[in-house]
Copies of this chain bind each other. A is one copy, B any other.
Amino acid sequence: MRSFTRYLWFNTAKKRELINITGECEDFLRESGVREGLMLVSAMHITAGVWVNDNEPGILADAMELLENLAPEGPDYRHHRTGEVNGHAHLKNLLTHNQVVLPITDGELDFGPWQTVFYAEFDGMRRKRVLLKIIGE
C-alpha cells in the first residue's frame, strides 16, 4: 500500500465561496501514479465543508440559500459568548459534512457524469486548508 498527502491552501476573497477543486484532486492523483485506491478530501477547519454535487451555478446558489435558511448567520448563537461570530458556519459544516472519499479506478477518479468536488467556505477571508490523502497501489 502506498500513501500520498497534499494540502490545498485557500484564502477566499469573500466570507462564503464554493470552489471547484476537482482539477486539483485529479492533478494530485496523476502525480501519485496510484491506479487503484481511495482519496480522502477533508477540510481541516470546522467552518468549511467538502461535497460532491453538480457544477451548475444555479444549484450552487440554491445550496447556499438552503444552508442559510437552516442555519442562518446571526447574533444569537451560544458560541458567540466566546467572542466568535461564526456560529452559523460551524452549523453549516455540520449539515454538509466536512469530507468525501473519492474512488480511484484505473488511475482516474471514478466519477459519474456530473460529479464535481467542491470546497465550501462558510467563514473565509483567512488562510485555511483542505487535506488530500491517497491510499492505494
Interface residues of A in 115-136 (CB under 8 A from B): 115, 128-129, 131, 133, 135-136
Secondary structure of the A contact surface, majority rule: mixed
User: Residues of B contacting A59 with CB < 8 Å?
Assistant: 77-79, 87, 90-91
Which residue of B has the minimal Cβ distance to A65? B78
- State whether A103 touches B5 (Cβ < 8 A): yes
The oligomer's copy count stands at 3
Q: Would you call A71 and B78 a contact (CB within 8 A)?
A: no
* Interface pair B3/A37, CB less than 8 Å apart: yes
Q: Is A80 an interface residue (CB 8 A)?
A: yes
A37–B101 CA distance with the chains assembled, in angstroms:
13
Residues of the B chain whose Cβ atoms lie less than 8 Å from the Cβ of A70 = 66, 70
Q: Shortest Cβ distance from A102 into chain B, in angstroms?
A: 8
Residues of B contacting A100 in the complex (Cβ-Cβ under 8 angstroms): 98-99
